[in-house]
Amino acid sequence: MIIFTRYPEPGTTKTRMIPELGAEGAADLQRGMTNHLVSKVKTLMEQRSVEVEIRFDGGSERLMRDWMGPSFTYGHQGRGDIGRRMQHALVEGFQNGYTSIVIIGSDIPDISTAIIDRAFQELEKTNLVLGPAGDGGYYLLGMRKADKDQAYPELFEGINWGTNQVLSQTIAAASQLGIGYALLDTLQDVDRPEDLKIWNRTVQFESELTAKKRISIIIPTLNEATVIEETINRLPQSDAVEIVVVDGGSSDGTAERARELGARVLSTAPSKAGQMNAGAAKARGEVLLFLHGDTCLPEQFENKVLTALTRKGVSAGAFTLGIDSEDWGLRFIERVANWRSRLFKMPYGDQALFVSRQLFSEIGGFADYPIMEDFELVRRLKKKGKIAILPDSVKTSPRRWQNFGVFKTWLLNQIIVGAYFIGIPPQRLAFWYRREKGRTNKQN
């Protein structure tokens, strides 16, 4: 799947909207609509094996990656009119071995995961699929590979781009070539000020969805003053999100700083499982999300969490792991961890586990273990339903790997997991874990 969008730089983005919204407002609209589309695509990635590339205009690959995250590949759209750019993207995709490609624009508020999925389904039966736009163009084009990596260049030649003839001319060209095609639902795009009501309706609907349930974010802490400020500041100030910090007796002012930042602060004995259970018991939200003190959630996580928990058969979920470092060893660990969590549906606690308050209470919360408490909770949750691994990435600090050595920490973690599986008690594992980390620290 290929998303065509533009980096939201004020003055160069959605220029038709500038008289109504101003340059900054027009750029914010571009950012918001692209984020909206990407959220639907990420849901599709959980349901279907699909690779996603973002082809952009303006900005740079670094800016796009900082904005959209590591779940995608990135490339410039290239030169020429929109037809030439789409044809070039299709040819490159077919040459890279893909047999079905869907290209979609970023300015269709009513787009849904189901519509995008249907495009891929139609490509199993026909060579071309089009998503008609209300203005006479199309918001989606899907194509199945023909001979010699060709992308039917006739479909992109002689088209009056930007007019209400685009769809009809494309269908005429397909008919002349004898290409079978399928049409999706007709949707309205947002190009002009009079179209803003379509986008505003979508924003209102999603706000109402988020407001239906409160999410309680529970953060166990022990001497996290150096990182807790960024973690809390990245969370929204909203009635729909409650922040509960459960401090285990910090001596560095963590609790005081968290309270200054607006969090509810509880105090307990220093036990991560006990702290999280205490936070859950006092939380007011219908959904519980357990977050490490040095981990930041992705933008608009609220909708993603609530949407995931409404899916049929889903009991709980977590995000993709992102480690805030460019170290190649940590990039490797990140990839391996995400491969494991997606394959076995066994995320760890640093991936921000979330679950409904009702189910968490039903299964008895975290076991009173000094280690592996998150792993054990997920094993019980899997018996209740599927664990959703969201493509959006958290950003967690690399410090625990860097403090003790990247490879040594990773190897130690794998040994602990293996030992837990063969039945060694968590209390014994915790003692051994602390002892080995102590030795590693001395060696470093």
Listed in order, the ranges of the chain carrying CATH 3.90.550.10 are 2-206, 212-396
Per CATH, the number for 2-206 is 3.90.550.10
Q: Which of 166, 35, 181, 49 is nearest to 117 (CA)?
A: 49
Whether pLDDT at 135 is above 80: yes
Cβ neighbours around 395 below 10 Å, total: 21
Q: Are strands 241-247 and 181-183 parallel, antiparallel or unpaired?
A: unpaired
Residue 441: pLDDT above 60? no
CB-CB neighbours of 83 under 10 Å: 18
Q: What is the pLDDT of residue 300?
A: 84
Banded pLDDT at 444 (limits 50, 70, 90): very low
| Pairing assessment for the beta strands 353-356 and 287-290 based on DSSP bridges | antiparallel
> What would the pLDDT profile of 26-66 be if each residue is shown by its tens digit?
999 999 999 889 888 988 887 788 999 999 999 999 899 88
Confidence of residue 332 (pLDDT cuts 50, 70, 90): confident
CA angle 153, 117, 346 (to 5 degrees): 125
Which architecture does CATH list for 212-396?
Alpha-Beta Complex (3.90)
Grade residue 418 by pLDDT with cuts at 50, 70 and 90.
Answer: confident
What pLDDT, in 10s, does the model give residues 73-118?
999 999 999 999 999 999 999 999 999 999 999 999 999 888 999 9
Closest CA to 325 of 227, 234, 397, 411: 397
Per-residue model confidence (pLDDT) at position 387: 94
* Separation between Cα atoms, residue 438 and residue 51, nearest integer Å: 42
Q: For 177-192, what is each residue's pLDDT tens digit?
A: 999 999 999 999 998 8
Strand bridging mode 181-183 / 128-132: parallel
Q: What is the pLDDT of residue 217?
A: 96
Q: What are phi and psi of 404, to 5 degrees?
A: -115, 5
Instruction: Using CB atoms within 10 Å of the CB of residue 34, give its burial: 0 to 12 exposed, 13 to 18 middle, 19+ buried.
Output: buried
- pLDDT confidence of residue 425: 77
pLDDT on residue 312: 82
- If you average pLDDT over residues 154-178, what whole number do you get? 93
Is residue 249 a contact partner of residue 222, using CB atoms and an 8 Å limit? yes
| Contact yes or no for 293/272 (Cβ under 8 A) | no
Query: Is the pTM here over 0.85, yes or no?
Result: no
What pLDDT sits at residue 205?
Answer: 74
Find the mean pLDDT for residues 139-149.
85
Across 192-206, average pLDDT: 85
Q: Which of 132-141, 369-378, 401-410, 422-431 has the highest mean pLDDT?
A: 132-141
Secondary structure of 337-383 in the HEC alphabet? HHHHHHHHCCCCHHHCEEEEHHHHHHCCCCCCCCCCHHHHHHHHHHC
pLDDT of residue 255: 94
User: What's the whole-number average pLDDT of the chain?
Assistant: 88
